[in-house]
Structure 1
Amino acid sequence: MDAIFIIEQLLNGLGYGFMLFLLAAGLTLVFGIMDTMNLAHGSLFMAGAYIAARVHESSGSFAGAVLIAILATVLIAAVIEILIIRRLYSRDHLAQVLATFGIILLADDAVKAIWGPSPIMAPTPPALAGPVQLLDALPYPSYRLLMIAAGLLVAIGLYLLVNHTRVGMLVRAGASNRAMAEFMGVRVGRVFSFVFALGAALAALAGALMGPISAVQIGMGEAILIPALVVIVIGGIGSVRGAFVAALIVGLVDTAGRAFLPPLLRAVLPPSLAADLGPAMAGIAMYVLMAVILTLKPAGLFPARA
C-alpha cells in the first residue's frame, strides 16, 4: 500500500462525497424546510441517470444529455409535487414515508417498462475517457476529476444562493422557523415548489454524472438513498453546510474503508477470516461514524435550527 494508492483512493472518496452531496443537499432542504420525508428522492436520481444515458447514447452530446436529464427530471418532480407531495405537507412522517415508498415502486416499474429490466452502462464522453497525469506516477481518470469539479462548483453555487440572495434568505427562514416565515408573509407554497425542483435538479445531476462510472439499473436510487440519509443525519437536517461536510466525510470514510480495511485485515488475520470480516467492516464504517457523531452531537454537526 504505497502513497500513490492512498492518494488515488482519497480522490475517489472526494468524488463519491461530492456526488453524495448533490443528492443529500436537495434531500436535506426538502426535509428541513418542508418537513417532508421524500424517500422518492432516490428515484429522481435514477431518472436522471437513465435519461442522461439514453440521450447521450443517441445524440453523442454529454453536456446536452445532462441538461436534458435535469430539465426532464425537474418536470417529473413538478408533476409528483403537484399530484402527490402537496397532499402530504400536513400529514405525519409515517404517511409521507408510505406514500413516497409507493412512488419508488411505481418509478421502478415505469423504468422497467420504458427501458427494460437489464442494467445499462452509460458511455463516457470521449474527451474525458483518458487519464490526467496529476503526478509522475499518478494518472487519474479525467472524468472523475470532472465529477469533483462539478460537485465543488455546485457547492459554491448553493452557498452563494442560500447565503447571499433573497431566495436563499427565504429558504433559510423556512428551515429555521417555518411558522414565523409564514407570519412574516413568505409565500411558503412557492418556496416549497422551488426547493423541491432544486432538489430534483441536483439529484438528476448526480445521477447523470454517476452513470458512466456505475451501472445504470433499477433500484440504484434506493441504494444511494441510504448513504444520503446518513449524510443529512450527520450534517444536521436542513443544513446545506452540514450536508457538504458530512458528504465529504462519509465519502472518504466509505471509500477508505473498502480500499484499506481488507488488506490491513489480511495482514493480521487468517485469510479466510479476513475475506469475510473485511467487506463487512467496510460496509458498516459509515454507520459507526454516524453513531459516534450522534453520540457527541445528537442534532448533527451543523443543525439548521441551532
Structure 2
Amino acid sequence: MSLMLLIEQALNGLQYGVMLFLMAAGLTLVFGVMGLINLAHGSLYMIGAFACAAVAAATGNFWLGLAASLAAAAAAGALMELTVIRRLYARDHLDQVLATFALILVFSEGTRWAFGSFPLYLDIPRALAGPVRLPGGIDYPLYRLVLIGVGLAVAAGLFWLIGRTRLGIRIRAGEADREMIGALGVDISRLYTIVFALGAALAGLAGALVGALQSVQVGMGEPVLILAFVVIVIGGIGSIKGALVGAILVGMTDTLGRFLLPIAFSTFMERSQATSVGAALASMLIYILMALVLVVRPGGLFGRA
C-alpha cells in the first residue's frame, strides 16, 4: 500500500462525505425545524437525478440539467409539503413514517411510468472530464474535486444563511419555539414550505451531481437516505455543523474501511477470504461509529441534550 493510494482513497471519502452532507443537511433542517420524519427525502434525491439526466440528454447541456434538478426537486418538495406533509405536523411519528413511506411508492412508480424501468446515464461535462495532477504526483478525477468544492461551498452558504440572514433567524427561532414566532407575526406555514423546498433542492442537487458517477435509476435514493439518517444521528438532529462533520466521518469511515480492512486481514488470511471478511466488516463500520458516538453523546456530536 502506497501513501499516494491512501491519499486518493481519503479524497474519495471526502467526496462521498460532502455528497452525503447535501442529503443530510436538508433532512436535518426539516427534522429540526418541523419535527418531521421524512422517509421520502430519498425520492427527492432521485427526482433531481432524473431531471438532470433528462434535461441534459434533451439539450446536451449538463449545466441546464443541473438547474433543472434544483427546480424539479424544490417544486416537488414544496408540492409535497403543501398537499401531504402539512397535514402531518400534529400527528405522531408513526403516522409521518407511514405517510412518507407511501410517498416513496408514489414517486417510484411515477418515475418508472415517466422514464421507464431502465437506468439513465449522465455524462460528466467535457470541461470537467479527465484527471488533474495534484501535489505529490497524484492524478485525481477533476469532477470529483469539483464535487468536493461544491459540497464545501454549499456548506459555507448554509452556515451564512442560518447564521446571518433574516430567514436563518426565523429558521432557528422556529426550531426553538414555533408557537412564539407564530405569535410574533411570522407566517409559520410559509416558513415550513420554504425550509422543505430548500431541503428538497439540496437533495436534488446531490442526486444530479452523483448521477454522473453512477447510473440514474428508480430507487436510487433509498440507500442514501439510510446513510443520511446515520449522519444526522451522529452529528445531532437539527445541526448543520453536525451534518457536515457527521457526513465527512461517515464518508471517510466507509471509504477507508473498504480500502484498509481487506489489506489488514490479508496479513493473516488468504487474499480472497480477507477481501470477503474485510468488505463485510467495512459495511458495519459506520453503524459501529454511530453506536460509539451515541454511547458518549446520546444527542449526537453537536445535538442538544
**TM-score relative to the length of structure 1:** 0.96
Q: Which residue of 1 aligns with 2:135?
A: 135
Aligned to 2:287: 287
Is structure 2 residue 42 aligned with structure 1 residue 60? no
Residue 229 (structure 2) aligns with: 229
Query: Who is 1:106 aligned against?
Result: 106
1:248 corresponds in structure 2 to: 248
Aligned to 1:71: 71
Find the aligned partners of 1:195 and 1:32 in 2 and give their Cα distance: 10
User: 1:136 deviation in Å?
Assistant: 4.6
C-alpha distance after superposition, 1:226-257 (max 9, x if no partner): 00000001111111111011111111111111
Q: For residues 75 and 85 of structure 1, what CA distance do their matches in structure 2 show? A: 14
Aligned equivalent of 2:302: 302
Structure 1 residue 178: Cα displacement:
2.6
CA distance in 2, matches of 1:231, 1:176: 22
Q: Which amino acid aligns with 1:44?
A: L
Query: Cα offset for 1:268?
Result: 2.0
Change in Cα spacing, 1:130 to 1:276, as seen in structure 2 (3 Å) is: closer
Residues of 1 paired with 2:265 and 2:32: CA distance?
A: 40
Counterpart AA for 1:228: A
Where do 1:1-306 residues align within 5 Å? 1-303=1-303, 305=304
Q: Which amino acid aligns with 2:9?
A: Q
* SS of the residue 2:139 aligns to: strand
Query: 1:117 offset after TM fit, Å?
Result: 1.0
1:258 Cα offset (Å)? 1.2
Structure 1 residue 272: Cα displacement: 4.6
**Preserved contact between residue 78 and residue 194 of structure 2 (Cα < 8 Å):** no
Secondary structure of the equivalent of 1:284?
Answer: helix
Q: Which amino acid aligns with 1:32?
A: G
> For the aligned residues, what is the CA RMSD?
1.2
Deviations 1:28-71 (A, max 9, x none): 01011101111000000000001101211221211111011111
- Tell me how far 1:175 sits from its aligned partner: 1.6
> Following the alignment from structure 2 to structure 1, what is the Cα–Cα distance between the partners of residues 136 and 36?
49
3-state secondary structure, aligned to 1:121? coil
Structure 1 residues not aligned, in runs of 5+: none
Structure 1 vs Structure 2: percent identity of aligned residues?
50
**Structure 1 stretches (4+) deviating beyond 6 angstroms?**
none
Task: Point out the more displaced range, 154-163 or 78-87.
Answer: 78-87
- Aligned mates of 1:280, 1:174 — CA distance in 2: 42
Could you list the per-position Cα deviations for residues 203-246 of structure 1 after superposition, in whole angstroms to 9, with x for gaps in the alignment?
Answer: 01100100011121111110100000000011111111110111
Amino acid of the residue matched to residue 175 of structure 1? E
Alpha-carbon displacement from aligned partner over 1:102-121 (angstroms, at most 9, x marks no partner): 01011111111111112222
Is the Cα–Cα contact under 8 Å of residues 25 and 243 in structure 1 kept in the other structure? yes
Cα offset for 1:271? 3.5
Distance in 1 separating the partners of 2:261 and 2:236 = 28
Paired with 1:180 and 1:13, the residues of 2 have a C-alpha distance of: 42
SS of corresponding position for 1:106: helix
Deviation at 1:17, TM superposition (A): 0.5
Structure 1 residues 83 and 264: CA distance shift in structure 2, 3 A: same
Question: Matched residues in 2 for 1:130 and 1:275: separation?
Answer: 29
SS in structure 2 at match of 1:140: strand
Distance 2:246 2:228 in 1: 10
- Number of matched pairs: 305
Q: Is the 8 A contact 2:48 2:73 kept in 1?
A: yes
Deviation at residue 200 of structure 1 after TM alignment: 0.6
Q: Which runs of 5+ in 2 are unaligned?
A: none
Secondary structure in 2 aligned to 1:139? Answer: strand
